[in-house]
Structure formats: structure tokens, C-alpha cells
Structure 1
Amino acid sequence: MQMVANNNRVWYTLIVLCLQNMFVCLCCFRRDISLASREIPVKRLNCQYLKNIDYGAEDITILKDGLAFLSTGLKYPGLHSFSDEPGKMYVLDLLHPKMTPVELQIKGQLDLSSFNPHGISVYEDEADDSIYVFVVNHPEHKSQVEIFRFVEEDTLMHLKTITHPLLHSVNDIVAVGAEHFYATNDRYFHHEALQLLTFMFDLSWCDVVYYSPHEVRVVAGGFKSANGINISPDRQYIYVSDIMDHEIDIFRRNEGEQLAYVKSVAVGSLCDNIEVDHRTGDIWLGCHPNGLKLLKFDPEDPPGSEVIRIKNIHSERPVVSLEYGDDGRQLIASTVAVPYEGKLLIGSVFHKALLCIL
């Protein structure tokens, strides 16, 4: 049995390497989508690496009281990884003097040996002050959503695993209830060769799905690759990053959780996760300046990082600004940026995480 498992692992590695080469070739062909010719912007801040985070923090979200949750150790087809270990969840108190991430202990019926966390969201139930943590999980490269309850300073209690045919390639989620959320699908096909064709021919077939225990349905479509998703402070609007279209799409939440398209804001980069400043409503984006560098990953010429902020996104003239830029020497492949009280947390796919002073 061990020999069979080893053989399967070898074949999987070979398939991934072939797919990476195919993606690189397609990125060279579709340089407009991958931004393969783009120069990396450099604008550094006063930053330090977060302790204990060595294999990426793909998504980060912060509560109003300064408590930050981080998903780490993502393994994603076609992207590099520095670790074969299962993923982990961390918590960080930004009001604590040391500001050191602490690994969250996960209790309940969940296979931690295949835990592969991706996008995350937190919902605070005002009725009893309960904190629910939603995590996109890819065990064996499947897609499912885990719901936890944050029960102690360093413990998550697993409550439920959600799977559904419409949740077939989930990237990110935003929780709108204790068991209710919107989710993005970043791919249309499971078959890698077919998915490559959608990329090559610029097909906009990805979507956003609304989930509740009573119904699951597609509420928005027409995305090249729906990636990050989040909600406005007044909870009236949903923001979606169409990473391959280099835009942030805005939708109004209507009755019955229907989404009505409002407009799109161009960002000029491959923007991943979306975070929203709860005080100002500013949009913060962790972005990939050059998609080709991300896919081929040359340690001598690593993929860079970029943080973009959008002010007044609902106005006729939103202000899009570069807040942090690096050529990969400090941070490789940024995915998320979250501000809090003059600080900025920046996460990455597989590298490290930064704590910066704004």
C-alpha cells in the first residue's frame, strides 16, 4: 500500500509540473491577461516579518477589536509551495505588545492531515457575541467550506463541513450569517486541460454562489476568474475581484440575497483577496504584479508583491493608489492586505507575512 501511495505521489508531482509548464506557455501567449511584461512597482514600508509564519498566509481578516485570523500553508495546483505539511490557522492580537501569531488548536470531527485552508471570513453574532470562522478547505484538492466557532483564546471548534456541486472550485467567501455566505468559484472546469482553454480563449464562465441551509444558487456570473470577495461596512454591497480581468466588481445586495451589478473599477494588477476598512470603507487589495513570474517561480527572479487601496469606490471617481510594492526580495506573491489602527498586515501565497507601519 505504501508503494502505491508513493507511486501516486510521483505521478501527481509529474502532472503538476506539466500543468505548470502549460500555464507558463499560455501566460506567454496571453501576456495581456497575465501582465507578463509589467514592471514590478517598488514602494516599501517600515515592515517586519511575522513570527511563526513561514509558508504563506493566503488570507487574513481582522475583527474590530484587533483580533486577526490567518490561513497558512496553502497548496494550490500550479503554484509553488515550500512545505508538504498540512495547513494551519493562526490568531494574532494586534493590541498585544508582542503581536506574535499563535497557532489555533482545532477540535471536532475534521481531518487535519489533509487540511488545506484558502480564503477565510469571520461572522460575529451580535445576539450572543459568538464568533464564527469560515474557511475554504481543499483536502485532496477538493472544495469545501468549514465552519468553526472561536471558543477560547487559541481554539476553534469545528461545527460543520459544507459541500455542494455549485461550490466546485471555491477561492474565497464572505459570511453573512452563522451558516450563510457568498463564495467565489475561480475555475469553471475541474479538468485542467479544459480549464487551460478557458484561460486561452478568455472565457468569462466563473461565478459567485450564495449558500444557506435552505438554498444554494448562483447569484452573479460572467467572471474570468472570481477570486476575492467581501462586503461593505453597511452590508449593502458585495465586492468581487475578477483577477484575470484586473477589476473589482461591485454588486448591490437586493431582497432575497440577489446581487445586482453596479459597476467595475480597474486596478491594473492581478488582485487576489479583498479587505475593507470598517471605519472608512476603503478597499485594500493584495495583488500579483506579474502573473507569469508567479506561475513559473524562479527564485533568482521571484514574483513580486503589490498592495492597492481604493478610496471612494462608490463615487464617480474612485481613487486607486499603490500603498506597497516589492520586487520579491522582501515579500513573494502577496495575496491580502489588512489595515488596522495605523498598521498593515500583508499575507502571501507560500512565502511569509509582513506587519507594516502605515
Structure 2
Amino acid sequence: MAKLIGLTLVGLLLAFYKNHQSSYQTRLAAFREVTPVELPNCNLIKGIETGAEDLEILPNGLAFFSTGLKYPGIKSFDPNAPGKILLMDLNEKNPAVLELEMTGNKFDKSSFNPHGVSTFTDEDNAVYLLVVNHPDFKSTVEVFKFQEEERSLLHLRTITHELLPRHVYISELLAHKIHVYEKHANWTLTPLKTLNFDTLVDNISVDPVTGDLWVGCHPNGMRIFFYDAENPPGSEVLRIQNILSEEPKVTVVYAENGTVLQGTTVASVYKGKLLVGTVYHRALYCDL
């Protein structure tokens, strides 16, 4: 009887393990392969070799990239270098990236580990950057003022609260969902809808002209956490039109199996151009 009970327990444990493993693999889209979707003119951006995990494009065509993210369990091609904020002027015929100098007596550049960037322009057209930062794997939000003439960032302060737009879009990475909320004047939120996908949705960029959402996605997320140069993570970019309507239109604008671009996290557009960033690899600049 004891032997039978022992075998039963082993069987239950194995079943639990297999079910848990199957759920984990499903959430990470472990076995999904990418069907390529190409764009007519794409070029890797020189000077971005350790990721462009998030990016933001101003209405005047200036683009900011956060690069150099280091996080437990995530591949880093340069683990000893601090993170950076890069600038690219999309109005130039052949735009190149420039590293922005960061100034401020109380800001420790050596531990800068950026994980996301947003911009805010005030009534005087001054531009501010809000950057999620993980110094020593803690979490802060750093506020910088962009000094355009000097091409530099002045660190102002560290904050812990977030600023929210009129509609709030939240990507739930492992659940393959995007949640849509409406923000009210009293800062309360009302859930409007949830969209489901067959890919891991990461950063969301909103086109200020059309309101379309551009989403960097991981079509096979398992490969992000278990990096294999022979079988790298793919890239995928979704465009979501009319997200507040009854039937939003979702289009795969770009998809690739990792040969060119590995681990896409973000995509954003400006005047017919598409920028695509990655968690630790390179960045792409395409015509639409």
C-alpha cells in the first residue's frame, strides 16, 4: 500500500510539473515560429548594438532611445557598460544616433540602467524625459530636461509616481493581452476592453496623428530568456487601428525570425518611417 501511495504521489507531482511546464511554455509562446513580413527599405541603425528597449518620437522628428538594459535572466551583449539615452533626427536624409550627455550633480551615470522612456512637452515647448531606471536592479523614474542646443540631458529629480494620458493602454506580456482604460478628471480609471493576441506584447507607442497603437512583440518569448545564438528570438511589430471601436484592425507590419533583429520590444512611427527597438540587440529603421 505504501508503495502504491508513493507511486501515486510521484505521478501527481509529474502531472503537476508537466501542466505547469506546459502553461509556462504557452505563456512564453515557446514553440511559435515566425512567418516573415518584410518592409521595402530597412536598415540596421549604426551605433545601436546593445538594445533599444524603448523609444519615443517627438512631433518634430527627434527620436530618443533607451539602450543598454541589464536585468536578471536577460541577455546583455555588454554587461559592464552603463545604459545610455541616444538621439536621432528623423528629418535628416541619413539619420545617425548621438549619445546624449547626462549632467546633474546628484545623478549616478555609472549605475544608469534604463528600461523605458517617455517624453513630455510643456507650454513653453521645453521637452522632458521620464526614464524608468533600475540602478542596482532597484526601480526609480528619472526626470531629465532635454537641452537641444547642447544636445544633452539635465537630470532634474527622481520620482516614484507616474503621469497618465487620457486613455491608458497596458500590455500584459505573458498573458498576451492589451488592456484599455479611460482616465477621468479625478484620476480614476474605467476598464473599456481587453484585446488578446498570439504573441507577447511589450511596449506600446501611440501615433499622435492617427491614434494608432504600434506594439513591439516577442513571437517566441522563451528564446528571450534562454538565449541561443543558433536559434535567436524573433521580432514582430503590430499596428492596431481604431482600438476604441467595436472591431479594431490588427496588422502584422513586420516579422522576422531573428536573423536580422532579435527580441523586439518597441516600435514607433514618424512621417512614413518606422523605428524598431530591441531589448538587447540592435535597432531597425524602415520605410513604411
**CA, structure 1 residues 352+27, in 2 after alignment: closer, same or farther (shift >3 Å)?**
farther
Aligned to 1:49: 44
Question: 1:29 Cα shift?
Answer: 5.0
- The one-letter amino acid of 2:34's match is I
Q: Please point out which of 121, 124, 127 is paired with 1:124.
A: 121
**1:78 has 2:78 as partner:** no
Relative to the length of structure 1, the TM-score reads 0.72
Secondary structure at the aligned position of 1:244 is classed as: coil
Question: 1:27 Cα shift?
Answer: 5.9
Query: Is residue 150–residue 156 contact of structure 1 (8 Å, CA) maintained in 2?
Result: yes
Distance in 1 between the 2:21 and 2:232 partners?
16
Distance in 2 between the 1:26 and 1:89 partners?
39
**1:67 has 2:49 as partner:** no
Aligned to 1:222: none
Aligned to 1:218: none
Q: Please point out which of 84, 94, 99 is paired with 1:103.
A: 99
- TM-superposition CA deviations, 1:291-329 (whole Å, max 9, x none): 111111100000000001111111111111100000000
Q: Please point out which of 132, 135, 143 is paired with 2:131.
A: 135
Secondary structure at the aligned position of 2:59 is classed as: coil
- The one-letter amino acid of 2:119's match is V
Distance in 2 between the 1:31 and 1:264 partners?
22
Q: Please point out which of 225, 231, 255 is paired with 2:185.
A: 255
Aligned to 2:141: 145
Distance in 1 between the 2:269 and 2:66 partners?
17
- The one-letter amino acid of 1:325's match is A
- TM-superposition CA deviations, 1:193-228 (whole Å, max 9, x none): xxxxxxxxxxxxxxxxxxxxxxxxxxxxxxxxxxxx
Distance in 2 between the 1:157 and 1:248 partners?
34
Query: Is residue 56–residue 347 contact of structure 1 (8 Å, CA) maintained in 2?
Result: yes
- TM-superposition CA deviations, 1:49-98 (whole Å, max 9, x none): 11111100000000111010100000011110000200000111100223
Question: 1:33 Cα shift?
Answer: 1.0
Question: 1:152 Cα shift?
Answer: 2.6
Q: Please point out which of 226, 232, 241 is paired with 2:171.
A: 241
- The one-letter amino acid of 2:112's match is F
**1:264 has 2:163 as partner:** no
Query: Is residue 273–residue 285 contact of structure 1 (8 Å, CA) maintained in 2?
Result: yes
Aligned to 2:153: 156
**1:37 has 2:31 as partner:** yes
Query: Is residue 41–residue 306 contact of structure 1 (8 Å, CA) maintained in 2?
Result: no
Q: Please point out which of 247, 253, 278 is paired with 1:317.
A: 247
Aligned to 1:115: 112
Percent of residue pairs identical: 47
**CA, structure 1 residues 249+30, in 2 after alignment: closer, same or farther (shift >3 Å)?**
same
Query: Is residue 27–residue 36 contact of structure 1 (8 Å, CA) maintained in 2?
Result: no
- The one-letter amino acid of 1:71's match is S
Larger Rg: 2
1:175-190 counterparts in 2 under 5 A?
Answer: 181-182=163-164
Q: Please point out which of 230, 238, 242 is paired with 1:300.
A: 230
**CA, structure 1 residues 266+129, in 2 after alignment: closer, same or farther (shift >3 Å)?**
same
Query: Is residue 27–residue 33 contact of structure 1 (8 Å, CA) maintained in 2?
Result: no
**CA, structure 1 residues 99+35, in 2 after alignment: closer, same or farther (shift >3 Å)?**
same
- TM-superposition CA deviations, 1:133-182 (whole Å, max 9, x none): 0000101000000000001341100000124xxx7xxxxxxxxxxxx514
Distance in 2 between the 1:97 and 1:26 partners?
51
Aligned to 1:290: 220
Structure 1 runs of 4+ aligned residues shifted over 3 Å read 25-29
Q: Which has the higher contact order (CA 8 A, sep 6+)?
A: 2
Secondary structure at the aligned position of 2:186 is classed as: helix
**CA, structure 1 residues 143+352, in 2 after alignment: closer, same or farther (shift >3 Å)?**
same
- The one-letter amino acid of 2:146's match is F
- The one-letter amino acid of 2:83's match is G
Distance in 2 between the 1:340 and 1:66 partners?
7
Query: Is residue 74–residue 349 contact of structure 1 (8 Å, CA) maintained in 2?
Result: yes
In structure 2, the gaps of 5 or more residues are 1-18
Aligned to 1:328: 258
- The one-letter amino acid of 2:63's match is A
Distance in 1 between the 2:21 and 2:142 partners?
33
Secondary structure at the aligned position of 1:56 is classed as: coil
In structure 1, the gaps of 5 or more residues are 1-24, 168-179, 183-230
Distance in 1 between the 2:258 and 2:38 partners?
11
Secondary structure at the aligned position of 1:113 is classed as: helix
Number of aligned positions between the proteins: 266
RMSD over equivalenced CA pairs, Å: 1.5
- The one-letter amino acid of 1:181's match is L
- The one-letter amino acid of 1:50's match is I
